[in-house]
A and B are shown apart, each in its own frame.
Chain A
Amino acid sequence: MTNLSVDAIAQVEQPLPGAPNNWKRFFSFSTDHKVIGIQYLVTSFFFFLVGGILAMIIRGELITPEADLLDRAVYNAMFTMHGTIMLFLWTFPSLVGLSNYLVPLMIGAKDMAFPRLNAAAFWMVPVFGVILMASFLVPGGPSQSGWWAYPPVSLQNPTGNLINGQVLWILAVAISGVSSIMGAVNFVTTIARMRAPGMTWFRMPVFVWTVFAAQIIQLFGLPALTAGAVMLLLDLTVGTSFFDPARGGDPVLFQHFFWFYSHPAVYVIILPIFGIFSEIFPVYARKPLFGYKVVAISSLIITGLSGIVWVHHMFASGTPGWMRMVFMATTMLISVPTGIKVFAWVATIWGGKLRLNTPMLFALGGLVMFVFAGVTGIMLASVPFDIHVNNTYFVVGHFHYVIYGAVVMGMYAALYHWFPKMTGRMYSEGLGKLHFVLTLIGTNLNFFPMHPLGLQGMPRRVASYDPEFAFWNVVASLGAFLLGMSTLPFILNMIGSWVQGEAAPKNPWRAIGLEWLVSSPPTVENFEELPIVVAEPYGYGKSDPLVANPDRLEVVHESH
């Protein structure tokens, strides 16, 4: 442990610009996809903590039935900012960061197709983060219309200022959209055209398939949100009447624009998590992924179906009966490709020689949480049930099981799994397991009570409630504070291990994949010579080599 190897010291002494040991590159306009990936991950995790603090303030208000902690207007601002930050500044950028880091390595490319575009897209994240945060400082405070900004609520401008919370909110979301489109063009081009020799479509790891499927959704969905946001902004600033019902506008049209993107956006978030599950289960079960081709193709089927389900958010928005029936059917249909994946993962684990370290525990926990969320999702897809629980805590509980239970836990699994690759250090397994236990208990304590609350009829987005709902609310609040605490061992682990963890070998997990054939962390160029792929992924239990030139991927350092 105390013996630092000689070449490690030698590298510290000569930090070349952009070399893997120069920490300053993380604060520069670096075009290295690995640096940008980590920039995304760290920035978004900061905002995850900000959004988490807002969530704990919300749960602090809800621990008693009376509205006693916050002013009601401030409470509205809190849940609006919580939702906006968690989606646009945590889940999207963190997954883009992970994809940025992994996709070029996994397909055997030296970088993304457009490295400068990549860097520009990243640097927009802190810009719109600051714009969104600045809305706390303008008169009237941040937007109070929720993360979906429905008019006519979002069209009210009580202070009368041109620069108000809602305008800043639209601006931030618009810049986020531009950044995401730039990223999506980059990912789709990279995956379609930058694959290494022999890396055919059906030799790509499932993670790459899911990123491809997710980024296609960005390309067709985001422009619709942009169109709606432009019209909302014009209504708010210039005085047009697109969404103002008093002057002939149609507020429901905004809901269509919004959900045409924002429902598929759920798949933008969950698809890469499916990819993470598909990468992690084979490694720690030591078995090939069950039904690889079917799992890969079902990602694209989800992409296709995700474009025709958005109206299920609007069953109670005066939607005609035939439309309700059609969208109920399409929504239930999308559970088929999703269910196929779940079966494939279960079949992968089945009979495997499981290694229950932190990434595997998080992946298993995430899978169970996702199945629970899937069950409530099917319930919500059904029109009569949805109308019954519309705008109640049941919906809140459902999507928090997706976004915290599956996405955040899947994200943690990925961060632990690839931490040795990214940093060249091993994390602490003990802290990791503590983190897992706290997260699993906290998630269920926080979000399970929302289901009985919703069934009893507690509406969402209220600062005070009937005392009969008090019990489950206290439980949920305690869970929220526990979740807040659960990030502490994680942060300690990540920082501590990065600084003084044990040095990681190339492939600590004996995983099969191009990223595990190069050193940890990889060199700036990733591959000195492009890998020539000769086998399908997930060849666990077989002894076939993955590439024809494993010894020539990197320059051999003759230091020993």
Chain B
Amino acid sequence: MNPTDVNASLNTKGSTDHTPDLHTNTEHHHDEAGNSMFGFIVFLVSESVIFLSFFAGYIVYKTTALDWLPSGVTGLETREPAINTIVLVSSSFVIYIAERFLHVKNLWGFRLFWLLTMAMGSYFLYGQAVEWRGLPFGFTDGVFGGTFYLLTGFHGLHVLTGILLQAIMLVRSLIPGNYDRGEFGVAATSLFWHFVDVIWIILFVLIYVWQ
């Protein structure tokens, strides 16, 4: 920052501090939402390191294990998980459309596409539950079983969290005028959803594609 910038900020401060008007008030709110979004992004970056650690562990196990697959297991079925992947990845675009609708103040459009995102997320969880039921190995069947359920389960927990957050935002959209000035919660939930999607893509490649 050069001296003129400081002078500029000095002047704006000097002109507003004696008359604390509406302008500074909204600026204050804007700043708080900005802080929250910044903090949330910092949190997501940190959260991604847990997944990176699990991924790193998975790669180490897979490349060094003597008996990777438990006896009687030949590999993982990829067709159903691929459909699941398509559903989850497309839901990222759907939630983006919902956000656009909110941006132009079309609340019903927002609610429709928001609900559609929730439905797609729920379908993903349902698909995963069906897959888990049909698998011939369990959580304690060696490192293969352990890492498989750990990775998919931990990611599934995040999907569930995302759907619950979406449900809260949907209910809050029913409060009149609540989203008039834009909404940190909606933006954060949407960002979280994209994050969960990207994690799944890496996870899908590591577990299902690389066999």
Measured between alpha carbons, how far is A372 from B47 in the docked complex, in Å? 37
Q: Does B46 contact A185, Cβ atoms closer than 8 Å?
A: yes
For B29-52 the 0/1 string (1 means CB < 8 A from A) is: 001001110110011011111101
A240 within 8 Å of B (CB atoms): yes
B123 within 8 Å of A (CB atoms): no
Q: Across the interface, which residues of A come within 8 angstroms of B17, CB to CB?
A: 529
Separation in Å of the A532 CB from the closest CB of chain B? 5
For B9-43 the 0/1 string (1 means CB < 8 A from A) is: 11001000100000000000001001110110011
Measured between alpha carbons, how far is A227 from B49 in the docked complex, in Å? 9
Measured between alpha carbons, how far is A423 from B38 in the docked complex, in Å? 33
Measured between alpha carbons, how far is A184 from B49 in the docked complex, in Å? 14
Q: Across the interface, which residues of A come within 8 angstroms of B140, CB to CB?
A: 238-241
Nearest residue, chain B, Cβ from A226: B50
Separation in Å of the B4 CB from the closest CB of chain A? 12
For chain A residues 107-134, which have a beta carbon within 8 Å of chain B? 113-114
Q: Which of B35, B48, B57, B150 contacts A114 (CB 8 A)?
A: B35
For chain A residues 182-206, which have a beta carbon within 8 Å of chain B? 184-186, 188-189, 192-194, 197-198, 200
A222 within 8 Å of B (CB atoms): yes
Q: Does A223 contact B47, Cβ atoms closer than 8 Å?
A: yes
Q: Across the interface, which residues of A come within 8 angstroms of B65, CB to CB?
A: 248
Q: Does A534 contact B46, Cβ atoms closer than 8 Å?
A: no
Q: Across the interface, which residues of B come within 8 angstroms of A223, CB to CB?
A: 46-50, 52-53
Q: Which of B6, B34, B53, B143 contacts A249 (CB 8 A)?
A: B143
Q: Across the interface, which residues of B come within 8 angstroms of A248, CB to CB?
A: 65-67, 142-143
A530 within 8 Å of B (CB atoms): yes
Q: Does A234 contact B150, Cβ atoms closer than 8 Å?
A: yes
Separation in Å of the A421 CB from the closest CB of chain B? 25
Q: How many A-B residue pairs have CB under 8 A?
A: 111
Nearest residue, chain A, Cβ from B34: A193
Q: Does A241 contact B146, Cβ atoms closer than 8 Å?
A: yes
Of residues A221, A239, A253, A530, which shows the largest number of chain B Cβ atoms within 10 Å of its Cβ? Answer: A253
Q: Which of A185, A227, A230 contacts B39 (CB 8 A)?
A: A185
Q: Does B46 contact A198, Cβ atoms closer than 8 Å?
A: no
Measured between alpha carbons, how far is A240 from B70 in the docked complex, in Å? 13
Separation in Å of the A557 CB from the closest CB of chain B? 20
B132 within 8 Å of A (CB atoms): no
Nearest residue, chain B, Cβ from A190: B35
Separation in Å of the B83 CB from the closest CB of chain A? 28
Nearest residue, chain A, Cβ from B17: A529
For chain A residues 223-264, which have a beta carbon within 8 Å of chain B? 223-224, 226-228, 230-231, 234, 238-242, 247-250, 253, 257, 260
Q: Does A197 contact B146, Cβ atoms closer than 8 Å?
A: no
Measured between alpha carbons, how far is A529 from B20 in the docked complex, in Å? 12
Q: Across the interface, which residues of B come within 8 angstroms of A231, CB to CB?
A: 57, 146, 150
Separation in Å of the A457 CB from the closest CB of chain B? 33
Q: Across the interface, which residues of A come within 8 angstroms of B47, CB to CB?
A: 223
Q: Does B42 contact A238, Cβ atoms closer than 8 Å?
A: no
Known: A197-B9, A231-B150. A185 touches B42 (CB 8 A): yes
Measured between alpha carbons, how far is A183 from B33 in the docked complex, in Å? 18
A548 within 8 Å of B (CB atoms): yes
Measured between alpha carbons, how far is A363 from B67 in the docked complex, in Å? 56
B104 within 8 Å of A (CB atoms): no
Nearest residue, chain B, Cβ from A224: B53
Q: Does B50 contact A181, Cβ atoms closer than 8 Å?
A: no
Q: Does A189 contact B50, Cβ atoms closer than 8 Å?
A: no
For chain B residues 148-174, which have a beta carbon within 8 Å of chain A? 150, 154
Q: Does A224 contact B49, Cβ atoms closer than 8 Å?
A: yes
Q: Does B46 contact A241, Cβ atoms closer than 8 Å?
A: no
A148 within 8 Å of B (CB atoms): no
A219 within 8 Å of B (CB atoms): yes
Q: Across the interface, which residues of B come within 8 angstroms of A247, CB to CB?
A: 142
Separation in Å of the A531 CB from the closest CB of chain B? 10
Known: A223-B49, A248-B65. A241 touches B35 (CB 8 A): no
Q: Does B6 contact A198, Cβ atoms closer than 8 Å?
A: yes
Separation in Å of the B65 CB from the closest CB of chain A? 6
B60 within 8 Å of A (CB atoms): yes
Nearest residue, chain A, Cβ from B47: A223
A350 within 8 Å of B (CB atoms): no
B126 within 8 Å of A (CB atoms): no
Known: A197-B10, A226-B50. A114 touches B39 (CB 8 A): yes
Q: Across the interface, which residues of A come within 8 angstroms of B93, CB to CB?
A: none
Q: Does A189 contact B143, Cβ atoms closer than 8 Å?
A: no
A220 within 8 Å of B (CB atoms): yes
Measured between alpha carbons, how far is A249 from B113 in the docked complex, in Å? 45
Q: A197-B13, A234-B139 are in contact. List 6 more A-B contacts (CB 8 A).
A: A186-B39, A193-B31, A198-B1, A230-B150, A231-B150, A248-B66
Chain B: residues with CB nearer than 8 A to chain A? Answer: 1, 6, 9-10, 13, 17, 31, 34-36, 38-39, 42-43, 45-50, 52-54, 57, 60-61, 64-67, 139-140, 142-143, 145-147, 150, 154
Chain A: residues with CB nearer than 8 A to chain B? Answer: 113-114, 181, 184-186, 188-189, 192-194, 197-198, 200, 219-224, 226-228, 230-231, 234, 238-242, 247-250, 253, 257, 260, 529-530, 532, 534, 548
Name 15 A/B residue pairs within 8 A (Cβ), A-sorted.
A114-B36, A181-B43, A184-B46, A197-B9, A219-B45, A219-B49, A221-B49, A223-B47, A224-B53, A238-B140, A248-B65, A250-B61, A253-B61, A532-B9, A534-B10
Closest 5 pairs between A and B when the two form their complex, measured CB to CB: A227-B53, A223-B49, A240-B146, A223-B50, A189-B39
